[in-house]
Amino acid sequence: MTKITPFLLFVGRLDEAVDFYMSVFPNARVASRNPMTATFVIEGQEFMGLNVGPDVPFTEAVSFFIRCDTQAEVDAYWSKLTADGGAESRCGWLKDKFGVSWQVIPEALGRYLGGADRAAAGRVMQAMMKMKKIVIADLDRAAAG
């Protein structure tokens, strides 16, 4: 395991949160669980959770970045993570129903923004700034001019 593990506080909803994340991510597993704590692994990243009180809200100051290869992958994570009380934000950011912030970002965005064609990168950045969920076809159109 890695030396650094995200540690998340859930107010009486730890079991619900772990079950939710297991349903969202196809490559996820529970390593250990008891009424107060859980250790779970998503895409090889270990997380720990704790049932606590009083409520300590999550903020956008920390988010989890999901790299996506296809629009179908972006759409699937976006719809699952915003379901049942999650909230869309801007530029590929969202909050799930527990208030945890996620960035659902297609690989194409990084490729365009880091590409040699700086004019295309600027157009892609302007297009992305108008989006909530990132749409790869819209990035492609912006890059093409």
Assign 52 a pLDDT band (cuts: 50, 70, 90): confident
- Identify the band that residue 1 occupies on the pLDDT scale cut at 50, 70 and 90: low
CA distance 69 to 88: 20
Residue of 11 and 67 predicted with greater confidence: 67
15 and 52 co-located in one domain: yes
- The encoded tokens of residue 16 equal 């619900």
Same domain assignment for residues 81 and 65: yes
Pair 77, 108 in one domain: yes
Structural domain for 4, as ranges: 1-56
Q: Tell me phi and psi for residue 81, to 5 degrees.
A: -75, -25
The answer on 92 and 77 residing in a single domain is yes
pLDDT value of position 56: 83
- CATH code for the domain of 115: 3.10.180.10
Query: pLDDT tens digits for 115-128?
Result: 999 999 999 999 99
- Per cent of the chain over pLDDT 90 is 92
Q: Is the pTM here over 0.95, yes or no?
A: no
Beta-strand runs (E) in 13-122: 28-33, 37-42, 45-51, 63-68, 87-88, 93-95, 101-106
- Per-residue model confidence as pLDDT tens digits over 90-100: 999 999 999 99
- What amino acid is encoded at 137 in this protein? A
